[in-house]
Amino acid sequence: MKNRTFISSVIALASILCSCSYPRNFTRNFYARNEQKLLAIKADFSRLYAQHPFSVLFEEKTFTNISFEFNEDSIKYIYHFNLNEPAFADSLQAHHYDVRGVKALVEEMQAIQCTWIANVDYYEGLRARKLVQMSVRNKALNNTLKGESYCTLVFFETPQPFNSKGIFLDRSDRKRRRQINGNVLKRVNGKIGYAITKQYR
């Protein structure tokens, strides 16, 4: 009887632990289903960013409140907006942003539950580069013990090196793995990587 109880306990514990990890093929399947939407968000953001730099962060699960970073020369201003109120569009116009384009991008982000998008500067050797980084919320990444996780996607300008396991490597040091917030960056394709993170940005 004790042996049966012990075995049942082990099975129950194994079930709990399995429920605490995201599906193994989540990112591959998620990206395949949403590739056109994700690439459209990335392209629209890059186009608008080239006109006037900014970043967008959704602050909560209803996707109605955002933090918007206005970049004015060397000064950055971060304002909080409720998207149901006119202040957001008014502020975009006051800071000379493409109001219709930015609002359309925000709607694209809402539709796929993209919580954050930004341009990130980095260097390859001595050459300045940029990448687009976005985070996506999905219920498949939630679990009982660990709480909520996010799929962070990184879009590089050029193909990147990675090893046989699909882990991105530093271009100047092929033994060093690239990471996002301490999480290993893995391959979606040669120019796009991902990591499952606890941070929504």
CB 192 within 8 A of CB 152: no
pLDDT tens digits, one per residue of 13-66: 333 334 345 456 677 788 888 999 999 999 999 999 999 999 999 988 899 999
Q: What is the mean pLDDT of the chain?
A: 85
Predicted pLDDT of residue 165 = 92
Torsion, Cα of 24, 29, 30, 36 (10° steps): 150
pLDDT above 90 as % of the chain: 58
The yes-or-no verdict on residue 9 having pLDDT over 70 is: no
Average pLDDT over residues 148-172: 90
Domain map (residue ranges) of the chain? 24-197
| Between 180 and 69, residue with greater pLDDT | 69
Q: What is the pLDDT of residue 8?
A: 39
pLDDT in tens, 173-189: 777 898 887 889 999 99
Q: How does residue 145 score in pLDDT terms, banded at 50, 70 and 90?
A: low
Strands (DSSP E) found in the chain: 54-58, 65-72, 75-82, 114-124, 127-137, 150-155, 179-180, 183-184, 186-189, 192-197
What integer pLDDT is reported at residue 74 of this predicted model? 81
DSSP string, 103-153: HHHHHHHHHHTEEEEEEEEEEETTEEEEEEEEEEE-GGG-BTTTB--EEEE
pLDDT of residue 7: 39
- How many CB atoms lie under 10 A from the CB of residue 132? 20
Name which of 109, 66, 115, 73 is nearest 91 in CA terms. Answer: 66
- Predicted TM-score (pTM) of the model is 0.83
Instruction: Using pLDDT thresholds of 50, 70 and 90, give the confidence band for residue 144.
Output: low
Rounded to 5°, angle at Cα 197 from 194 and 201 = 90
Q: Angle at CA 73, nearest 5°, toward 67 and 78? A: 15
Band of the pLDDT at 123, cuts 50, 70, 90?
confident
18, containing H or E segment: helix 2-19
Q: How confident is the model at residue 11 (pLDDT cuts 50, 70, 90)?
A: very low
Q: For residue 6, name the pLDDT band (cuts at 50, 70, 90).
A: very low
Q: What's the rounded Cα separation, in Å, for the pair 140 and 138?
A: 5
